[in-house]
Structure 1
Amino acid sequence: MIREICKDVLFLARKAAPATPEDLPLAADLLETLAHHKEGCVGMAANMIGVSKRIIAFDNEGQYMVMFNPVILKKSGPYETEEGCLSLTGVRPAKRWKTIKVQWQNEKFQQRIKNFTGWTAQIIQHEIDHCEGIII
């Protein structure tokens, strides 16, 4: 189901609760909403559709990917950039990292760890910020 984009800054500023297997339908809604906004959006966190759970979905080099309970374990190569967001107006400065090591759970809630670089790493960092209640 395509959900409405949350623009409530107070809600977005709250740290998200851990995701559980019961949240699988929410991940499907997140993916459908992301696909609906594909012309202007490359990633979403669950709080962007009004649910405070640690779930992100993003374009991973042409394929959509979902992460449950993502955490950045390691980061290197800091740089400054500007980012926009469907939940917020305009663009804002952001400090990002060229390479990140992320731990998350997949749709079967199996733990995964992988390094991401470049644009994909930047998208993941933006969405994890949403999970942490960080508004860039």
Structure 2
Amino acid sequence: MIQPINRDQAILSTKSVDATPMDLQIVTDLLDTLKAHQEECVGMAANMIGQTKRIIVVQMGIMPVAMINPKITKKIGPSPKSEGCLSLDGQRTVTRYHSITVKYLDQQFKPHTQQFTDFIAQIIQHEVDHCDGVLICTFSL
């Protein structure tokens, strides 16, 4: 079900807890909400719909991919990037890494470890920051 976008900074700044199989409805809601906002959004975290669970969805080409309990285990090549967020007004410059390795669970709770680069890596970093209660702000290298 499409959910409203949360703009409450208290919820957005709260560190999310690990998701369990009982949280699969949140995955469905995130995928539906991402699709509804596909013109202006390429990724979402559960706290953007008011749920403090470690769940993100990322648009990878034509396929949205859900990542449950994502953890970035390796980062290579920092550089400044400009980002926006549906939950915040405006654009901000942040430090993102060109290449990352992520451990996560899929919707069947099967574990994966995968490397991502460029724009997909940037989206994942943004959404994992949401899971950690970190809002985009200006960073320096």
Q: TM-score, normalised by structure 1?
A: 0.98
Deviation, 1:110, is: 1.2
Tell me the CA shift for residue 30 of structure 1: 0.3
Distance in structure 2 (CA, Å) of the matches to 1:48 and 1:79: 25
The aligned length equals 136
String of CA shifts for 1:53-87, please: whole Å, max 9, x gaps: 00000111221000000000001011001100000
1:24-58 deviations in Å (ceiling 9; x for gaps): 11100000000000000000000000000000001
Query: In the TM superposition, what is the alpha-carbon distance from 1:96 to its structure 2 partner?
Result: 0.2
Q: What does 1:97-108 align with in structure 2 at a 5 Å threshold? A: 97-108=97-108
Q: Is 1:22 aligned to 2:22, yes or no?
A: yes
Partner in structure 1 of residue 57 of structure 2? 57
CA deviations over 1:71-127 (Å, ceiling 9, x no partner): 000010110011000000001111000000000001111110000000000000000
- Structure 1 stretches of 4+ with a deviation exceeding 6 A read none
Q: Unaligned 5+ residue runs, structure 1?
A: none
Instruction: Give 3-state SS (helix, strand or coil) of 2:29's partner.
Output: helix
Q: Partner of 1:72 in structure 2?
A: 72
- TM-score, scaled relative to structure 2: 0.95
Asked if 2 retains the 8 angstrom alpha-carbon contact of 1:61 and 1:120, the reply is no
**What residue ranges of structure 2 are gaps of 5+ in the alignment?**
137-141
The 5 A counterparts of 1:1-136 are: 1-136=1-136
In angstroms, what is the RMSD of aligned CA positions?
Answer: 0.6
Provide the secondary structure at the position in 1 that maps to 2:28. helix
Q: Matches of 2:103 and 2:60 in 1, distance apart? A: 15
Say whether the 8 Å CA contact 1:100–1:117 is kept in structure 2.
yes
